[in-house]
């Protein structure tokens, strides 16, 4: 494919993603589990002021959508980074146990009495870092290309252990049990600007890292020698990538809890749109992540009105077919 058609494709992909995000955002503002209908929202937007509609849109749906945008972008980018650095199409924060490590850290923090949101964010980031370090140390960073399944097995096994650890916490301290029960599955309900403010610092750090990393990572995709020849340091790049993944998934967990398969779905979509180059897929993930997440959240709100489904259930159900498709699409020698 020539560079020219590549850039046309990128522009098209970008346009499509923007459109998708716009539609998802509108849906997220217009639809909900409550009685406020899209028509009422439209009338309110046109200036027909009704206190209740205005309240629902600006105080409930808008903050929640903002949190959804941040979570979606963070998880989409984290998935993309992980897949690039491990060269494994299945690498994803949730499958590899990174989210589980983060959740476990938060649960233990709750147990120890931390209820300040800002503290929880750093605990979540710390937990994600441990998870990242463990799983990727297991995969040895170097030799990962040759055995993609090892990474998945390591992640799944780690997840199992961490789940049991949470169960033990619940057994020992039943007073926390009731609260933690709801932490083990991701959701956006009830999150707002306060939580966003709490994660601002790690989020900013993660964004800066990602901005710096896109070029070295693209070089690394060409092979270590090429990357070294271009003046990049592969080892440093990998560790910084891991740091970025930990920051972003920690932020996502602190905001919404563990959200299954999300980091898998979004990069697959992005690659389908613009090809494998990470310099192109990254911006797309930033747009597509929120679009998919908001869409899933709207589904979660509408399916069981007047209550809501947790978001993590919806993404797991969406993500599993994508996982199957990825596994089946790859040539057998690799999988």
- C-alpha span between 276 and 254 (Å, rounded): 30
Nearer to another protein, 161 or 204 (CB): 161
Residues 106, 253 contacting (CB under 8 angstroms): yes
Distance of closest approach, residue 149 Cβ to another protein, in angstroms: 5
Report 135-174 residues binding another protein (CB under 8 A): 135, 137-138, 140, 147, 149-150, 152-154, 156-161, 163-165, 167-168, 171, 174
39 binds another protein (CB under 8 A): no
CA nearest neighbour of 188 among 23, 307, 93, 66: 66
Contact region for another protein (CB under 8 A) — 28-36, 203-211, 215-223, 271-279? 28-36
299 binds another protein (CB under 8 A): no
Residues 80, 88 contacting (CB under 8 angstroms): no
Report 96-115 residues binding another protein (CB under 8 A): 115
Longest dimension (CA), the chain: 63
- C-alpha span between 92 and 152 (Å, rounded): 9
Report 44-73 residues binding another protein (CB under 8 A): 55-56, 59-61
Nearer to another protein, 48 or 179 (CB): 179
87 binds another protein (CB under 8 A): no
Distance of closest approach, residue 163 Cβ to another protein, in angstroms: 8
How many residues of this chain bind another protein (CB under 8 A)? 75
Nearer to another protein, 295 or 313 (CB): 313
Nearer to another protein, 218 or 254 (CB): 254
Enumerate residues 6+ apart whose C-beta is below 8 A from 43: 50, 53
Q: Which 3 state secondary structure label does DSSP give 222?
A: coil
Q: Would you state the structure tokens that stand for residue 38, as one six-digit string?
A: 């899209």
182 binds another protein (CB under 8 A): yes
Q: Can you say whether the dihedral through the CA atoms of 288, 290, 291, 296 is positive or negative?
A: positive
């Amino acid at each position: 494919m020539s560079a020219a058609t590549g850039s046309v494709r990128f522009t098209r992909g970008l346009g499509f993603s923007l459109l998708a995000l716009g539609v998802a955002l509108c849906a997220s503002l217009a639809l909900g589990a409550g009685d406020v209908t899209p028509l009422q929202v439209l009338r309110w937007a046109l200036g027909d002021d009704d206190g209740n509609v205005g309240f629902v849109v600006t105080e409930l749906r808008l903050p929640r959508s903002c949190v959804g945008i941040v979570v979606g972008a963070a998880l989409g980018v984290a998935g993309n980074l992980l897949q690039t650095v491990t060269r494994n199409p299945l690498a994803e924060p949730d499958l590899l146990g990174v989210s589980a490590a983060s959740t476990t850290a938060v649960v233990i923090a709750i147990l120890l009495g931390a209820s300040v949101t800002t503290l929880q964010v750093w605990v979540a980031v710390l937990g994600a870092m441990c998870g990242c370090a463990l799983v990727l140390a297991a995969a040895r960073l170097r030799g990962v290309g040759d055995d993609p399944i090892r990474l998945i097995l390591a992640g799944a096994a780690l997840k199992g252990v961490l789940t049991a650890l949470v169960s033990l916490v619940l057994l020992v301290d039943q007073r926390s049990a009731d609260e933690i029960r709801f932490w083990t599955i991701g959701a956006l309900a009830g999150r707002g600007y306060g939580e966003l403010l709490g994660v601002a610092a790690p989020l900013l750090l993660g964004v800066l890292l990602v901005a710096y990393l896109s070029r070295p990572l693209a070089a690394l995709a060409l092979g270590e020698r090429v990357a070294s020849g271009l003046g990049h340091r592969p080892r440093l790049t990998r560790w910084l990538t891991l740091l970025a993944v930990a920051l972003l998934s920690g932020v996502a967990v602190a905001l919404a809890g563990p959200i299954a398969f999300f980091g898998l779905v979004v990069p697959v979509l992005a690659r389908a749109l613009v090809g494998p180059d990470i310099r192109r897929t990254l911006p797309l993930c930033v747009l597509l992540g929120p679009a998919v997440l908001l869409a899933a959240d709207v589904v979660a709100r509408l399916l069981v009105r007047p209550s809501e489904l947790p978001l993590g259930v919806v993404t797991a159900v969406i993500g599993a077919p994508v996982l199957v498709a990825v596994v089946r699409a790859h040539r057998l020698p690799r999988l």
